[in-house]
Chains A and B, each alone.
Chain A
Amino acid sequence: MKLTEIAALASVPFLVASCIQKEEPNTECDIEAISLHLDRPTECFFHDYDTLQAVIPADSIITFNIRSYADVGLVPVTLRLTQGASAFLTKVGGGEEPFVNGSPVDLSEEKERRFRIVSEDKMWSRTYRLTVKHDKPSEGNLSFDFEEYELDASGKYYVWKACDVFTDGMWKNGNPGFKISKSSAQPMEYPSTPVAGGGPDGSACVKLETCDTGPFGKMVNMRLASGSMFNGIFDVSNALKDARKATLMGSPFTSKPEQMRVWVRYEPGSFFQDVAANPVEGIVDEPDIYVVLYRNEDPLGAKVQIDGDDVLTNPYIIGKGRLPHNYNADGSDKLSGTPIHGLTDQWQEITIPITYSEEPDETILKNKGYSLVFSIASSWQGGFFMGAVGSKLYIDKLRLFCD
Chain B
Amino acid sequence: MKRIIYIFASLFFLTLSTEARQDSPSQEGKSEREASWQNWGPTAGLKSGGFIVRAGYVIGGTSPVPLPAEIRKINEFSPRGGISLGIDGYRMLSKRWGVSLGAHFFWEGFHTSADVKNYYVWLETEGEITKGYFTGTNVTNTQMWGVTLPLLVTFRVSPRWNINLGPYMSYYFKQTFTGEVYDNSDGVGYLREDTPVGNKILMTRENPTPYPDDFADHMVPLNVGIELGADWKALRHMNVFAKLDWGLTDIWSPSFEAISFRMYPIYGTIGVAYRY
Contacts and interface: CB of A to CB of B under 8 A. Distances in A.
Nearest to B210: A219
B128 A216 contact: yes
Contacts of A216: 125, 128, 130
Contact of A23 (B69, B129, B195, B212): B69
Contact of B228 (A9, A58, A220): A9
A17 B61 contact: yes
A308 interface: no
Nearest to B9: A7
A191 to B, nearest CB: 16
A241 B65 contact: no
A240 B207 contact: yes
A181 interface: yes
A215 B124 CA distance: 10
Contacts of A180: 130, 193, 199, 201
B190 interface: yes
B133 interface: yes
A220 B266 CA distance: 32
Nearest to B123: A216
A184 B127 contact: yes
A124 B128 contact: no
A183 B129 contact: yes
A219 B213 CA distance: 9
A50 to B, nearest CB: 24
A181 B13 CA distance: 58
Contacts of A123: 196
A21 B200 contact: no
A124 B197 contact: yes
Contacts of B190: 237
Interface string A155-186: 00000000000000000000010001111100
Contacts of B193: 180
B66 A16 contact: yes
A20 B71 contact: yes
Interface string A1-39: 101001101100100111111111001111000000000
A58 B73 contact: no
- DSSP class of A's interface residues: helix, strand, loop or mixed? loop
A3 B155 CA distance: 13
A362 B28 CA distance: 114
B155 A10 contact: no
A126 interface: yes
Contacts of B196: 27-29, 119, 123-124
Interface string A230-250: 000000111111100000000
A57 B117 contact: no
Given A180-B199, A238-B202, A21 B66 contact: yes
Contacts of B127: 184
A28 B197 contact: yes
A182 B125 CA distance: 10
A240 B202 contact: yes
Contacts of A22: 69
B84 to A, nearest CB: 16
Interface string B75-109: 00000000000000000000000000000000000
Contact of B126 (A20, A214, A241): A214
B128 A10 contact: no
A238 B200 CA distance: 9
Contact of B128 (A30, A215, A237, A242): A215
A221 interface: yes
B207 A221 contact: yes
B56 to A, nearest CB: 14
A21 B228 contact: no
Interface in A21-67: 21-24, 27-30, 57-58
Interface in B29-70: 60-61, 63, 65-70
B263 interface: no
A28 B207 contact: no
Interface string B166-197: 00000000000000000000000010110111
Nearest to B61: A17
B125 A24 contact: no
26 contacts: A10-B242, A13-B244, A13-B268, A16-B65, A16-B67, A22-B69, A23-B72, A24-B69, A29-B196, A57-B199, A124-B196, A125-B197, A180-B199, A183-B130, A184-B127, A214-B125, A215-B126, A216-B125, A216-B130, A219-B209, A219-B210, A220-B207, A237-B201, A239-B201, A240-B202, A241-B202
Q: 10 tightest A-B contacts by CB? A: A57-B200, A27-B196, A241-B202, A215-B125, A21-B69, A215-B126, A237-B200, A13-B266, A241-B204, A24-B69
Interface of A: 1, 3, 6-7, 9-10, 13, 16-24, 27-30, 57-58, 119, 123-126, 176, 180-184, 214-216, 219-221, 236-242
